[in-house]
Structure 1
Amino acid sequence: MRFLLISIKSEYMIIKYLNVKMKIRNNSKRAATVLMQVLLPISVLFSTMLQAQDTGFFKQPYGHDYEVAMAGRMKDGIDNFLTTYTRKVVKERGQLWNRILTSPAAYETSVINNRNHLRQIVGAIDPRSIPNMTVRGEPGQGGKIAETNKCVIYRVEWNVMGSLKSEGLLLKPKEKIRASIVIIPDADESPESYSGLAKGSGLALQLAESGAQVLVPVLVDRDTRYSGSDDLVPSNIWRKHTDPDSASVWTNETHREWIYRQGYIMGRHIIGMEIQKISSAVDWLKQETPEVKTGVMGYGEGGLLALYAAALDTRIDVAWVSGYFGPREELWKEPVYRNIWGLLAEFGDAEIAGLIVPRNLVIEPCPVPKVEEPRAPEKEQRNFGLPGRLETPSIAEIKSEYNRLLEFFKKSGNINPDFFLAPFANHYGSAAALSSFAKYLKVTPAPITKDILRNNGNSSEDQERQHRVFDNMVQYIQDLIPTSDRTRYAFLKGDMSSPKTWDKDMEAYRELFYKELVGKIDQPLLPMNTKMRKIYDEPGWKGYEVVLDVWSNVFAWGILAVPNDIKPGERRPVVVLQHGIGGLPSTSIDVKSYNRVLPALVNRGFIVFSPHNPYQFSVRKANAIKKSVFSVIIPQHKQILNFLKSLNYVDPDRIALYGKSWGGRTALMVPIVLSDYKVSICSAYFNDWVDKAVSVHFRNSYFFEGSPGIYVWNMGNTFGHAELASLIAPRPFMVEAGYLDGVAAPEKVASEFAKVKRLYDVMGIGDRADLEFFMGGHEINGVGTFNFLHKYLNWQAPVSPTDAQQVSPH
C-alpha cells in the first residue's frame, strides 16, 4: 500500500514537473495544455486519489481475499442501512392511514383502502365460488367418523375458488346451533387434535358441545416429504448424455415454503390462499345459519390466519388469536412463507388488529410453535430450504404492541375497541381466553371432554389428506402459468407506431416497475467522495479500484479499466461489465466462464467498469418494507454512472451495460430506470421467467436453488423478461445464450426473445434487437455481443483482432 501511494505521488509530481519545464522552455501555455491533455487520464485519476480521504479503504493489497472482505463490508453496510431505514419506514407508517373515529360506519369507510391493500399483498384476490360442502366418509358409515351425545363429527371437503378446495372436520351440534366457528390449527397440528379424535386440546369438540357448529380446516404443514419430484424435465433434454439425477430432485424445503415460492411471483401467497379457505368456510356457515354470530380461533400459523382473516372479512364477529400477536419489525427472521411484500410499510400486528374494530378480538399470549428452518436434509434431499425461526415475544413486547393498538382510538369517544388481552398461558386454550371468546359469541362453554373419541376414519387418512391439500394448492398455482402470457399482454400496452411513441408510453410503466416491483428508496445520493488506487498496469491498459459513497454505510465499488492510447480531447465509449451471483470485480478477468472479457474489451479501446453487485444481502429485510436487491443496486449504478460521466475522457452518450447470469438480470432491469445506459446486453440469463421461477416441473427451476433474491411479487402477471426488454426499448438490446447453458433451454430463450424481436420489428428498428446462440454453456461468448457493442457504441472494431482483443478461455 505504501509503495502504491509513493508511486501515485511520483507520477503526479512528474506531471507537474514536466508542466513547469515546458512553461520555462517554451513560455507557452498552449504547450503545457497539450502535454496535460496527453497525460489527462493519468492526471485526473491520480489527483482524484490524492483528494480522497482515508476512510479505512485500501489498507490491504488488492487480491482475492481483499475482494471477499470488501464484498462482506458492502453486505454488512447495506444490512445496517436497511435496519435504520426500516425504523424510518415504520415511523412514517401513520401517513398511510386516515382513521375517522366519528362513528363505526365512518371508521369502516376510512380504512377500506388499507384493508384492500392488505388483501392485495397477501394475494387474497380471486373471487370465491359458492361453497358446496361434501362429506368424505367410509362406505357404510354415512360419512360420520365420530359422535358424542351432543354433536356429530364428519370429514368434509368444500370448493373455495376455481380448482382450489379445502378439507377438514365439521363438528355439528345435535340441537340448536348457537354460533358458527372456524378453528384454525397450527400448520403442524391436525384437526383431529382439536376434535377429541387425537391427543390435543379438544377445543373444537368443547365448543361444538356448547352449541357451536365448528369447521376445522387443514393447513399445509411444515413437513418436507412432498417438496420435489421424480419426473422433472432435464435442464437440456435434447442432449444425449444428461445428468442422471436431473429427473429426480427432492429438497428440504417445507411444504409451506414450496407453495410460497411458486405463488409469490404470481401475486398469490399461501397466507392469502388459506385466508380464502377460511372465508369460504365462513361463506358456508353464514349460508347455513345466518342469524348466529361467527368467530374464528387460531394458534401459531392459525393465529396469524385468524388475525388476518378477521381483518379482511367483516362478517367475522369475533377473532381469538393465540400464539401470534406481537412486534413484527423482525419479520425477516421468521420462516420465509411469512414474507409479505411491503407489509411493514403499512402494517404491524396493531394495524391489522385495528381493522377488526368495532368487532371483538381476544389475544392470548402463549409460547409459539417451535420452528427452526431449514430442516436438516433427509436421505436424498438437497439443502435448498431457506432459514427462518419462530420466537415467543416477551409479555412486555406483546403489551407494547397492544398499547400501540389502543393508541389509535385513544381520542375517540365514539369507538372504543372491545378487545381482551388474556394473561400469559403455558398453552393455547386457556380458561380466560375461552371464557372471553364464548362470551362474545353468546355461548356457554361446556365441560372439557377428556377421553379421546374412537375415530372411525382410516388411520392413514391424515397423511393422504395432507398430500391432497398440498397437491391441490400446487396445481391451483400451476394452472395460472398458461394464462399468464395473456395477463401480461393485457397489462402492458403502448403505441408501437414509432420508437418515440413507444418510449413515451413506457414511461408510466417504468415508474410502476421501479415503485411497485423493485421498491424505490426515496433518499438522495451522497456526494461521490471518490476513492481510487491503481491495481493493474498492463501493456495496453491500466486498472484502478474505485469506491464511491451512495448512502450512509452503502457504497459502490469496482474496477475501472482505461486504455493507454486515449488521445488528447478524445471521449471514449464505456462498457459497464456486470458479474453474476457470487462474483467479484475481478471475476471478468480471472474466472473461467468469463473468458477474460474485460481485458478483451479494454484492448479494443473501450473504457470498462466492472462493479460489484451485492445480490445476497438481507433481501427479506428489504422485502418487508417493499424493497428488493435492486432497490440498492440501481442507486449504486446511478452513482457509478455519475462517476463515469464526471471523467472528461468518457462519452456520456455511449455507455453500455453488459452482464452475465445475475449480471444479465442487472442488464435486464437496471437500464429500465437508468436511461444513461444506451445499450443493454443480457448474457446467460434471459428466458421464460414464469417457467423458470414458478413451474415445479423443470430441473433448472429456482425451486432447486437456495436464493431468495429472485422472488419478485406479482412479476408473473406484469413483467416477464420480454416485458422488461420492452421497457428498455427502443434502445439496442441483445441476448447471448449458450446451447448448453442449464439456466434455460434454448427453445425457451428463443420463444421469449421472439416477443422482443417482434416489438422492435413492428417499430421499424429490428436491427436493434439481436439474439446470439453459441455452442457453449454458462459463459461469455464475446462474438456477436462485441460486434453489437462496436455498432451501437459507434466504436470501430479491429479488422483483424489480436488474441488480446478476443475472449480467451483459460
Structure 2
Amino acid sequence: MIKKYCKTRGYIIVFILLTGTLKAVGQNNSLVSPEVETARTDAYEKQLEDYLRHFLVAEYEARSEKAWNRDYSSPDALERSVKPNRRRWEEVLNPPVLTKSGPLERKPYALGEIQAEWIGLPLGMLTAEAVLAFPEGASERKQVPVVIVQHGIESTPETPFSPGAYHEYAKGLLEAGFAVLVPMNLRSVERRNNVERYARLAGTSLPGIELVRLQHLLDMVLADPRVDADKVGMWGVSLGGMATMFWMPLEPRIKAGVVSAWFNERRNKMAVPDERYSSFSPREEHAFFNGWLTEFSDYDLVSLIAPRPLMIQHGKKDNIAHWPQVVEEYDKSTVHYQKLKIPKRMELVLHEGGHEAIVDEGVRFMTDWLMGTVKSQNAD
C-alpha cells in the first residue's frame, strides 16, 4: 500500500510540475512581459483589420469595375451580361436544396378584423410557415396580385398588420386589393447569430435557407386560382428589407420591390464604424456573409434587380445609416435604370422619420407597377 501510494503521489507531483511548466510556457511568463505581448498582438490585430478594410473599402471600386461587364443596350442584354455575377451572388447565399415532403397545411388565423390563414409546408426536417390573407372579392374570376411582406429581426408575421413602425402596411396592401404572403423568418439577434454559425459550417446561410422556404411557399400560393401569378411584389422592412434586396436577384417571379429601412452605403455600414450610424459588429455577427463585399455593394446588387421596379425608403432619423450616404448610394444605383432609359422604375422616398415603412408611397408604387396604373413598364 505504501509503495502504491508513493507511486501515485509521484505521478501527481510529476503531473503538477508538467502542467505548471506548460502553463508557464503557454503564458511566456518568464520570457515576455504581458505589456509587450499585448502591445504586439494589438498591433497585429490592427494590421489585419487595416488590410481587410482596405480590401473591402478602398479597393472595392477597382475590383467592382473588373467584376461587372454590364450591357445596357436593352433590359434583356443587361440580364444576360450579369449572369456570371448572379451566379456568384448565389454562392454568397448558397441556398440549400429543400424538397416538399407533404401537402400544404392551412388553418384559419384571425388578425383582429382580418380573416387570414396560417399556412405550413413541410420541407423534410424544416417547415415553411407564413400568414396568407386575401382582399375582399378575390376569386378565380377576379384574380389579385400578391405581395410578399417580410418582417424584420425583432418582429413577427403579425407585426405588419399592427400599428407602430410598420404602420399596418400589410393591412394597407389588403385594402388596396393585394393578397399578402407574410413568411415567418427567424426572430431575434441571438437566435440568428446561433443558427448562422451552424449554417456557415454547413456551407449555406440563413438568408439562403429562408429564400428556399419562401420559394416553395410561393409555388403553392401562385397555384391558388385567386392569385394572378404574373403579378408578384415584395416589400420588406429592416431585415425584411435585406431579404428583399438579397432575394430579388435570385427569384425572377418577384416583379417589383420596396426596401424600407435597409438600403445603405454597404461598405461603410459593414466595415467602417462611425458615430453617425450604428454598426452590426460585434453583436450581430449573423449579418456578415462570406464574399458579400467582393462585388455586391448595394448599388451593384441593384443591377441584379433591374430592370424590375424598385423603391427605396429611408428615414433621416434612422440610425442604421448616415442619410447623405444613402442618397449617394441610391444615385449610383439609378445609373442602371438611366442607362436603360427607364428611370421611373427606381424611386427614393427620403422621409423625416426613422426606422419605419411609409405606407402610402409603398402601396402607390406597388399599385403602379403590379396593377397596371403605369400603362407601360417602359415608361420613363
Q: Shorter-chain TM-score: what band? A: 0.7 to 0.9
Select which of 566, 583, 591 maps to 2:155: 583
Structure 2 equivalent of residue 800 of structure 1: none
Counterpart residue identity of residue 71, structure 2: D
Q: 1:522 to 1:476 in 2, by over 3 A?
A: same
Structure 2 equivalent of residue 569 of structure 1: 141
Contact kept in structure 2, 1:628 and 1:709, CA below 8 Å: no
Deviation at 1:512, TM superposition (A): 2.3
Q: 1:507 to 1:528 in 2, by over 3 A?
A: farther
Structure 2 equivalent of residue 547 of structure 1: 120
Give the match's secondary structure for 1:702: coil
Q: Larger deviation: 477-486 or 651-660? A: 477-486
Deviation at 1:591, TM superposition (A): 5.2
Give the match's secondary structure for 1:462: helix
Structure 2 equivalent of residue 652 of structure 1: 229
Give the match's secondary structure for 2:142: coil
Select which of 149, 169, 182 maps to 1:610: 182
Select which of 782, 789, 803 maps to 2:359: 782
Contact kept in structure 2, 1:660 and 1:779, CA below 8 Å: yes
Select which of 280, 295, 309 maps to 1:702: 280
Deviation at 1:513, TM superposition (A): 1.4
Give the match's secondary structure for 1:658: strand
Q: 1:670 to 1:528 in 2, by over 3 A?
A: farther
1:510 aligns with 2:86: yes
Q: Any gaps of 5 or more consecutive residues in structure 1?
A: 1-192, 204-450, 798-810
- Report Cα offsets for 1:676-700 as digits up to 9, x if no partner: 1111111100101111111133451
Q: Distance in 1 between matches of 2:34 and 2:337?
A: 61
Give the match's secondary structure for 1:470: helix
1:535 aligns with 2:360: no
Q: Distance in 2 between matches of 1:636 and 1:202?
A: 49
- Report Cα offsets for 1:303-342 as digits up to 9, x if no partner: xxxxxxxxxxxxxxxxxxxxxxxxxxxxxxxxxxxxxxxx
- Report Cα offsets for 1:423-457 as digits up to 9, x if no partner: xxxxxxxxxxxxxxxxxxxxxxxxxxxx957x7xx
Q: 1:517 to 1:459 in 2, by over 3 A?
A: closer
Deviation at 1:748, TM superposition (A): 1.5
Counterpart residue identity of residue 585, structure 1: P
Deviation at 1:600, TM superposition (A): 1.3
Contact kept in structure 2, 1:619 and 1:709, CA below 8 Å: yes
Q: Distance in 1 between matches of 2:27 and 2:207?
A: 49
Contact kept in structure 2, 1:542 and 1:564, CA below 8 Å: no
Equivalent positions of 1:109-148 (< 5 A) are: none
Identity within the alignment, %? 21
Structure 1 equivalent of residue 64 of structure 2: 488
Q: Distance in 1 between matches of 2:185 and 2:285?
A: 16
Deviation at 1:506, TM superposition (A): 2.2
Q: Distance in 2 between matches of 1:580 and 1:664?
A: 8
Q: Distance in 2 between matches of 1:634 and 1:528?
A: 19
Q: 1:569 to 1:201 in 2, by over 3 A?
A: closer
Q: 1:477 to 1:531 in 2, by over 3 A?
A: same
Q: Distance in 1 between matches of 2:25 and 2:140?
A: 83
Q: Which has the higher contact order (CA 8 A, sep 6+)?
A: 2
Q: 1:591 to 1:624 in 2, by over 3 A?
A: farther
Contact kept in structure 2, 1:645 and 1:651, CA below 8 Å: yes
1:479 aligns with 2:57: no
Higher normalized helix content (fraction of residues) = 2
Counterpart residue identity of residue 624, structure 1: L
Q: 1:665 to 1:672 in 2, by over 3 A?
A: same
Give the match's secondary structure for 1:633: helix
Contact kept in structure 1, 2:306 and 2:337, CA below 8 Å: yes
Structure 2 equivalent of residue 595 of structure 1: 167
Counterpart residue identity of residue 36, structure 2: E
Q: 1:656 to 1:632 in 2, by over 3 A?
A: same
Deviation at 1:579, TM superposition (A): 0.2
Select which of 670, 675, 680 maps to 2:247: 670
Task: Give the paired residue count.
Answer: 347
- Report Cα offsets for 1:265-297 as digits up to 9, x if no partner: xxxxxxxxxxxxxxxxxxxxxxxxxxxxxxxxx
- Report Cα offsets for 1:436-495 as digits up to 9, x if no partner: xxxxxxxxxxxxxxx957x7xx88433333332233332222323122122123212221
Give the match's secondary structure for 1:659: strand
Counterpart residue identity of residue 120, structure 2: V
Counterpart residue identity of residue 25, structure 2: G
Q: Distance in 2 between matches of 1:610 and 1:201?
A: 53
Contact kept in structure 2, 1:533 and 1:546, CA below 8 Å: yes
Q: Distance in 2 between matches of 1:559 and 1:776?
A: 28
Q: Any gaps of 5 or more consecutive residues in structure 2?
A: 1-20, 375-380
Task: Give me the TM-score of the superposition, normalised by structure 2.
Answer: 0.84
Q: Distance in 2 between matches of 1:499 and 1:795?
A: 19
Q: Distance in 2 between matches of 1:672 and 1:662?
A: 16
Q: 1:502 to 1:552 in 2, by over 3 A?
A: same
Q: Distance in 2 between matches of 1:501 and 1:619?
A: 36
Contact kept in structure 1, 2:119 and 2:129, CA below 8 Å: yes
Q: Distance in 1 between matches of 2:47 and 2:350?
A: 38
Q: Distance in 1 between matches of 2:138 and 2:26?
A: 79
Q: Which consecutive aligned stretches of 4+ in structure 1 deviate over 6 angstroms post-superposition?
A: none
Q: Larger deviation: 505-514 or 627-636? A: 505-514
1:773 aligns with 2:338: no
Deviation at 1:542, TM superposition (A): 2.6
- Report Cα offsets for 1:405-438 as digits up to 9, x if no partner: xxxxxxxxxxxxxxxxxxxxxxxxxxxxxxxxxx
Structure 2 equivalent of residue 500 of structure 1: 76
Q: 1:503 to 1:587 in 2, by over 3 A?
A: same
- Report Cα offsets for 1:490-511 as digits up to 9, x if no partner: 2122211111100122233222
1:622 aligns with 2:199: yes
Deviation at 1:758, TM superposition (A): 0.7
- Report Cα offsets for 1:329-356 as digits up to 9, x if no partner: xxxxxxxxxxxxxxxxxxxxxxxxxxxx
Deviation at 1:739, TM superposition (A): 0.9
Q: Distance in 2 between matches of 1:776 and 1:751?
A: 19
Deviation at 1:565, TM superposition (A): 2.2
Contact kept in structure 2, 1:531 and 1:546, CA below 8 Å: yes
Contact kept in structure 1, 2:176 and 2:363, CA below 8 Å: no
Q: Distance in 1 between matches of 2:251 and 2:26?
A: 58
Bigger radius of gyration, 1 or 2? 1
Deviation at 1:527, TM superposition (A): 5.1
Deviation at 1:641, TM superposition (A): 1.1
Contact kept in structure 2, 1:691 and 1:701, CA below 8 Å: no
Structure 2 equivalent of residue 730 of structure 1: 307
Q: Distance in 2 between matches of 1:585 and 1:740?
A: 25
Deviation at 1:669, TM superposition (A): 1.0
Deviation at 1:742, TM superposition (A): 0.9
Q: 1:588 to 1:795 in 2, by over 3 A?
A: farther
Q: Distance in 2 between matches of 1:522 and 1:605?
A: 34
Q: 1:569 to 1:721 in 2, by over 3 A?
A: same
Q: Distance in 1 between matches of 2:324 and 2:360?
A: 21
- Report Cα offsets for 1:523-567 as digits up to 9, x if no partner: 4x215611112222766x531111112x21211111111112236
Query: What is the aligned-residue RMSD (CA, Å)?
Result: 2.6
- Report Cα offsets for 1:11-39 as digits up to 9, x if no partner: xxxxxxxxxxxxxxxxxxxxxxxxxxxxx
- Report Cα offsets for 1:241-265 as digits up to 9, x if no partner: xxxxxxxxxxxxxxxxxxxxxxxxx
Equivalent positions of 1:426-465 (< 5 A) are: 460-465=35-40
